[in-house]
């Protein structure tokens, strides 16, 4: 099964949208790093992510000293990326997994270093295309997402809104 490595912004948005539980219907292994989990400060989001972890739907990885050194070196190499970003970037390279992020700088570095990178709309597409959520429900959640996240690709959202209205 293909591994998807989740960045904090994706987990926080999915928690706010109450979509985490639906991910279990997808044919992916969802992973993240302990740095990402530590970055989630909102109590409601944190509780939902912790439930996701406890239900064994999200694997959290920690790093030994050798890998922490690699992550620190990535952090020095890629200015503008934080340690958390570098942790998911490294883990994505290591596992040859899909990096799931909405962070523009991280996306660019990932693409430049040949890491497959996707955003939250990929998850919406997968949930709809696999019949896990309905078009109507996806429209409701996508509209809510636009209210809580202003960094989304408007053109891509419009395409989905039109498609799912039919």
Q: Which domains does the chain have, with CATH numbers?
A: 2-120 (3.40.50.1010), 121-165 (no CATH)
Cα dihedral 136→152→154→162 (10° resolution) = -10
Average pLDDT over every residue of 22-39: 97
Q: At what angle do helices 120-129 and 154-165 cross, to 10 degrees?
A: 10
- Length of the chain measured in residues: 166
Q: Write out pLDDT tens, residues 59-101.
A: 999 999 999 999 999 999 998 899 999 999 999 999 999 999 9
Segment (H or E) for 107: helix 104-112
Phi, psi of 124 (to 5 degrees): -55, -50
Tokens of 11: 């987990």
Question: What is the C-alpha separation between 124 and 127, in angstroms, rounded?
Answer: 5
Contacts 24+ apart (CB under 8 A), 43-50: 44/15, 44/16, 45/11, 45/12, 45/15, 45/16, 48/15, 48/18, 48/20, 49/11, 49/15, 49/20
Tokens of 48: 């939902």
Q: Write out pLDDT tens, residues 3-15.
A: 999 999 999 999 9
Q: Model pTM? A: 0.93
């Amino acid at each position: 099964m293909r591994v998807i490595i989740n960045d904090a912004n994706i987990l926080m948005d999915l928690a706010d949208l109450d979509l985490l539980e639906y991910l279990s219907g997808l044919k992916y292994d969802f992973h993240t790093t302990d740095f990402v989990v530590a970055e989630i400060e909102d109590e409601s989001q944190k509780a939902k992510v912790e439930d996701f972890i406890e239900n064994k739907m999200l694997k959290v990885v920690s790093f030994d000293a050798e890998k922490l050194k690699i992550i620190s070196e990535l952090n020095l190499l890629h200015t503008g990326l934080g340690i958390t970003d570098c942790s998911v970037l490294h883990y994505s390279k290591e596992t040859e997994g899909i990096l799931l992020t909405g962070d523009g700088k991280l996306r660019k570095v990932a693409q430049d270093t040949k890491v497959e990178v996707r955003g939250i709309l990929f998850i919406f597409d997968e949930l709809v295309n696999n019949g896990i959520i309905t078009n109507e429900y996806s429209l409701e959640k996508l509209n809510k997402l636009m209210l809580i996240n202003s960094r989304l690709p408007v053109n891509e959202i419009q395409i989905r809104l039109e498609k799912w209205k039919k």
